[in-house]
Amino acid sequence: MKWIDLSLGEKTFGDIKTARSMLDMFIESLPAAEKQLREHYQTQNWRQLHDQVHSFHGACCYASSPILLASVKQLNASLQIITQATTDYSDDIHKSIGDQVNLVIDHIQHTSAYYKDNFS
């Protein structure tokens, strides 16, 4: 699987030009998304982290980045469980969320590097 697959965007938008335009805008948004992920996780603000990841998940759906989409989808699902819970979760759950956040950040960086190497 590729970090970026424009054929996915072409299927979604109907043409490669629009897919590329959406990808370009998405790539520009990645540094801010990474910064917000770090900040919300470090403050353990699960609601804000979930809201940001949920929004980012939507953007990933149109961004032709299947690997990043998969990791964001998993993090979004995990955060949904935590934010809807009525009890506090253990440190193990928080560590798991941290591992998932780090994976998403790693995937953001790899997607950005792949874009730079192949689309700039």
pLDDT above 70 covers what percent of the chain? 94
pLDDT category at 89 given cuts 50, 70, 90 is low
The structure tokens 């979760």 sit at 89
Give the Cα separation of 22 and 103 in Å (integer).
23
Q: How many CB atoms lie within 10 A of CB 87?
A: 5
Q: Mind listing the pLDDT tens digit for each residue in 8-61?
A: 999 999 999 999 999 999 999 999 999 999 999 999 888 899 999 999 999 999
pLDDT given at position 44: 86
Separation in Å, CA 39 to CA 43, 64, 79, 117: 6, 26, 15, 28
State which CATH number among 1.20.120, 1.10.287, 1.10.3470, 3.30.70 fits the domain covering 6-119. 1.20.120
pLDDT given at position 93: 78
Q: Supply 51's token pair.
A: 């809201």
